[in-house]
Amino acid sequence: MLTKTIKLTAIIACALLPLSTAFAQQNQTQTKQTESPWVDFSGFKGKIFEIKNRDPRDLVQILQVLGSGFKGAEMKFNGEYKTITVRDFPENIATIEEAIKRLDVPPPPKPQQPPRPTPPDIEVFAYILIASNGESASATSPPALADVIKQLQVTLNYKSYQVLASIVQRTRNENGSIQASGTADLPDKSLTGEYQLQIGNINPENNYADSPPIVLGGLQFSMRGYSEVGGHANVVGDTRISTKLSVRDGEKVVVGTASLRDRAVILVLTPRILK
């Protein structure tokens, strides 16, 4: 009888074993489903840091590695209020606070740019000469051109050099420019010349400490000759000079020559920097 009772108990135990195992698994599943994503850990603390000089977004990217990494620890920024909120272990919060003290500082001042030098006044003297093989009239030329005319007499096949027009203009703006135009009669009254002079860019080169060259860019000179025949003005020739050059302060330069009938038109320039 005792043997039969033991066998019956074993059979019941074996029958109940799968039921208890299924019930335990069901409890574990329900526990996982109801488990909170937050960790209510009494060791966590929270602190809000006010950021004064830097962008909180940039600081959070640097400070993330200083957190514990435990579940429930977090670090958030608020761009509107310029704050960083940290929830973590006290020792991690202390480390983050020290890092914020070192990083939340005003950016270094930008190097001060030296003041730009004031562009100097530049005065440009322009002389329009007419060269011919007629009688010499060098006495009518200004003394400032005596050396230039002497050199021209050696290099060009003309006897007489006379000043048709003189132009003086001043500019101060950086990359300044000048324009001039006018009408002048040749000394023998046989021709009338209409001239135009334009220099689009006048600027001293800044790479030289003493006596910097003056760049004359976009230089355009043109002249049209007329003759009076029967009360009508007939065009007898056009001249044009176009170039760019660099001239020393006070240097006289023959920019170019152009033919006008049996004469030559010569343009001489002298720029000067006014102190």
Angle at 152 between CA 222 and CA 123, to 5 degrees: 55
Looking at residue 273, its pLDDT comes to 86
Stretches in the chain below the pLDDT threshold 50:
1-3, 5-6, 8, 10, 13, 15-17, 19, 22-23, 31-32, 137-139, 208
Which residues, in sequence order, are bridge partners of residue 223?
A: 195, 239
For 193-240, write each residue's pLDDT tens digit. Answer: 889 999 988 887 765 455 668 888 889 999 888 877 666 667 777 888
Residue 115 token pair: 């003041």
pLDDT of residue 206: 61
Q: What's residue 77's pLDDT?
A: 95
> What are the tokens at 225?
């000759």
37: left (phi over 0), alpha (psi -120 to 50) or beta: alpha
Delimit the domains of the chain by residue range.
45-103, 121-274
- What are the tens digits of pLDDT across the range 104-137? 999 888 888 888 777 778 899 999 998 888 765 4
Cα 217 to Cα 199: distance, rounded to the nearest angstrom: 6
Torsion angle, alpha carbons of 248, 249, 251, 253, to 10:
60
Angstrom distance (rounded) from CA 40 to CA 72:
8
In this structure, which topology does domain 45-103 adopt according to CATH? Ribosomal Protein S8; Chain: A, domain 1 (3.30.1370)
For residue 60, the model assigns a pLDDT of 95
In DSSP notation, 143-175 reads GGGHHHHHHHHHHSS-SEEEEEEEEEEEE-STT
pTM over 0.75: no
